[in-house]
Structure 1
């Protein structure tokens, strides 16, 4: 029997051109499946976005990715971008504590969980009493806490409330936008429980995971910004015959044959269109009929749709994060007084931001670009994130940056700014009525989780019709 040809397969419509949707589309397209990506906004990429501020081309949302799983590294190799991978400066980030003081974050840690409880940098961060309580982790049997559902429950059980609230909570809040009590362990670090059980304590589990991680930093970026991944993905999709359409909003999806599927009106502002669902087995559910806001009716296999198309009760929870980017001229920032950035304790006085990234201290390529754009002006890029959008975001960000860096930043230091609000999934919904979410809402927070989840889902979809075609 001859191998199926692309025309033997129904068109796959990927609704949402965020990274999850683009990766899934590319995996299908390069294996001969006809694919069309439909994106409601005017650009692909979701939370990988480019912006220009004071003449500098910057990442507008995500600016790095976790290296522990290798998922993004493998994608970059496939896209021909591996030579652009860069690691951040080795200087530590800092913690702005609840009492208003600032200390460097412990060097050996994962999400703030210390690998050495009585290390001097741990004691400096949480105090001797809390560090001593955390040290008791080494005396507690390795199975204690192994059935914890959330990271907060695990750390509280093993190391106590002092380390949880003083170290882990600010880091998790900065990375995942939630308190550790709201973060499932599988989303935080899938191998953490297994490492703890194998090593006999949480601290030794952290050490083990750190030792197994790739050499260098736990995160990496791209020279020029991680938004470059989007251009590469779109180019590859189109190179192998796929299509990426922007400005196309899907308002309903209806099955053309049983079994019935979700069909509801799309709502603006729920989640970015980078997140969607994919059916377990498109060869079983048959084709669906897509209706767009412009009146188009498209028939094919729908393997992805935005959560806005799901019934409200089934949509994954999300949180709004406001990111303020400041480009400032300030000689006091040349020495990077707070390393690559600052994570802020929730109850720290006088600061509304939950985190600050000193981007020009973190990324050498950006420092070079900033200097080239304004020679001798001591130009720097700061990124501040907020759970609640300030009434005057730029003024608030300047005030917060002054407190967090210890460098006075007045309005006349400002060369440019931008404000953007993004929606981050705060829970992962792995299945909804037989459908699997891809993107952040289904795979977890961060580029590494999204890429891995999309590739796994693509493998399942390709495997579902291996050896047979879904003919129109």
Structure 2
């Protein structure tokens, strides 16, 4: 095969691994280049108190069939796990904590006058949200962002008191920065068809089994990256790590050492991409505190931006959320996320955890701190640049479900002369 018929995938994160796998199975000769020494990007592992945990993404949204189908092909389907069916909590701007509404999507309530909604945002805010049922389905149907949609349909109390903490904790941006079609594909169409936002949320929750909005893998989501890398080796993809690409065009890529590699190019790294960047720090604490095993605040706590006495934007009680983790250690594992500019230390995380869980937290047995750079979706809608295709967060939006689905769609659209069995 001529070099011009080779596909060069630049970037060995999740998008690059998925694209390379799709391409080789479609019959392409594939070369994958990764600047760092390892593959997987934000699907990474680290050890805390001798337990291997996810350092990055620890779950995926159950949206579409792309990830379940991929996990089945990677022979990981028997290890798919669902979180404990318990609510997350909200640390409010007045310093109190309440359970998040049980029937909600992105914090948007499906039953505005439910007691858990009233407890969270007050009677007046819940009554304003109830007006959604009286508005025509067309109101907000053209909203571009989650913030605009919720503000128009349900008002400021729902937006600031429920949706903002959830979006901030999950997507690392404000609701006004998050495109609604990326966060909840089809929600606007459901609202139009059913005549209201609340009823569309209820329908989504009723269609999903309890606790099934997200899932993970026993042993951690990082196992998916390991399995993808193993498949690339099995299918004959050439993988080079420690290689820096400095330039790319439709005919190939230029390397930092001056070499050039010819071939069709798929950019799975943010080479020359002008997209919003958000730095996130994550602190994981392992504490010997068996009294926390009764999950005083469910699976974790999301924090209102102006909540007093707390710097963290979210806490995940890992051993309360995932049974396999609780079964693997007598310790309690707490994961707190911070904005990138915060000097997030283990002591700060311990103090925040005390506030968010409402309990005294002893000095940690072990800790780990990691930093990630998240990329928002770039404003330029053109994804094929000068004959090159782009995949990754800047193209698909954040979240494993979106990244995997988009990488598969782009790779499968590149024509090939032949395909091989994916078994």
Q: Fold match, TM over 0.5?
A: yes
**Which stretch shifts more, 67-76 or 118-127?**
67-76
- Shift, 1:26, TM fit: 0.3
The question of whether the paired residues in 1 share the 8 Å contact of 2:377 and 2:396 is answered with: no
Superposed CA deviations along residues 15-58 of structure 1, whole A, max 9, x for unmatched, are 10001000000011122211111111111000100111110100
User: Is the contact made by 2:9 and 2:33 (CA closer than 8 Å) also made in structure 1?
Assistant: yes
Is the CA contact 2:4–2:264 (under 8 Å) kept in the aligned structure 1?
A: no
User: Which residue of 1 is the match for residue 375 of structure 2?
Assistant: 425
Q: How far apart are residue 8 of structure 1 and its match?
A: 8.6
Tell me the residue number matched to 2:335. 383
Match for residue 292 of structure 1 among 255, 276, 298 = 255
Equivalent positions of 1:136-175 (< 5 A) are 136-175=131-170
Of 324, 335, 350, the residue aligned with 1:365 is 324
Residue 361 of structure 1 aligns to a residue whose secondary structure is helix
Question: 1:234-249 residue pairs with structure 2 within 5 A?
Answer: 234-249=229-244
Residues 103-124 of structure 1, C-alpha deviation per residue, up to 9 Å, x if partnerless?
1111110000000000011111
Report how far residue 389 of structure 1 moved. 4.0
The aligned counterpart of 2:310 is: 351
Q: 1:216 to 1:396 in 2, by over 3 A?
A: closer
**Match for residue 93 of structure 2 among 85, 91, 98:** 98
Change in CA separation of 1:168 and 1:154 when aligned onto 2, cut-off 3 Å: same
Tell me, yes or no, if the aligned pair for 2:129 and 2:155 is still in contact at 8 Å: yes
**TM-score where L is the length of structure 1:** 0.85
- The equivalent residue for 2:216 is 221
Describe the SS at the equivalent of 2:368: strand
How far, CA to CA, are the matches of 1:294 and 1:164 in structure 2? Answer: 50
**1:439 is aligned to 2:392:** yes
Question: How far, CA to CA, are the matches of 1:57 and 1:231 in structure 2?
Answer: 14
In the alignment, what sits opposite 2:264?
A: 301
Q: Which has the larger radius of gyration?
A: 1
Q: 1:453 and 1:356 mapped to 2: Cα distance?
A: 29
Q: What's the CA shift string for 1:151-204, capped at 9, x where partnerless?
A: 111111110101110001100111111111111111111111000001101000
C-alpha offsets along residues 275-334 of structure 1, whole Å, 9 cap, x if unaligned?
Answer: xxxxxxxxxx4x22x222234332222122522x31xxx511110011111111112211
- What is residue 325 of structure 1 aligned with on the other side? 284
Relative distance call for 1:53 and 1:294 in structure 2 (3 A) is farther
Shift of 1:7: 6.3
CA contact (8 A) 1:195 1:209 kept: no
Cα distance per residue 1:53-88 (max 9 Å; x no partner): 110100001000001222211110111110000000
What RMSD, in angstroms, separates the aligned Cα atoms of the two structures?
Answer: 1.8
1:453 maps onto 2:412 in alignment: no
Cα drift, residue 237 of structure 1? 1.0
Paired residues of 1:38 and 1:244 also in contact (CA < 8 A)? yes
Task: Give the secondary structure class of the aligned counterpart of 2:58.
Answer: coil
| Aligned equivalent of 1:75 | 70
Instruction: Tell me how far apart the structure 1 counterparts of residues 3 and 163 of structure 2 sit (CA, whole Å).
Output: 52
Report the alpha carbon displacement of residue 228 of structure 1 after superposing the two structures with TM.
0.2
1:208 pairs with 2:158: no
- 1:129 and 2:124 are equivalent in the alignment: yes
Aligned length: 416
Matches within 5 A, 1:392-407: 392-407=344-359
Paired residue secondary structure (2:263): strand
Q: 1:68, 1:214 within 8 Å by CA — same for their partners in 2?
A: no
Instruction: Supply the distance in 1 between the matched residues of 2:376 and 2:344 (Cα, whole angstroms).
Output: 26
Structure 1 stretches of 4+ moved >6 Å: none
Report the more deviating stretch, 452-461 or 434-443. Answer: 434-443
What's the CA shift for 1:392? Answer: 4.9
CA distance in 2, matches of 1:227, 1:108: 30
Alignment of 1:47-66 (within 5 A): 47-66=42-61
Alpha-carbon distance between aligned partners in 2 of 1:426 and 1:300, rounded to the nearest angstrom: 28
Output the TM-score relative to the length of structure 2: 0.94
Kept in 1, the 8 Å contact 2:85–2:210? The answer is no
Question: CA 1:390 to 1:231, structure 2 compared with 1: closer, same or farther past 3 Å?
Answer: same
Give CA deviations for 1:83-141 in whole Å, capped at 9, x if unaligned: 00000001111000001100111111000000000001111110110001000100011
1:9–1:34: 8 Å Cα contact kept in structure 2? no
SS state at 1:461 partner? coil
Q: Is contact 2:10–2:267 with CA below 8 Å preserved after alignment?
A: yes
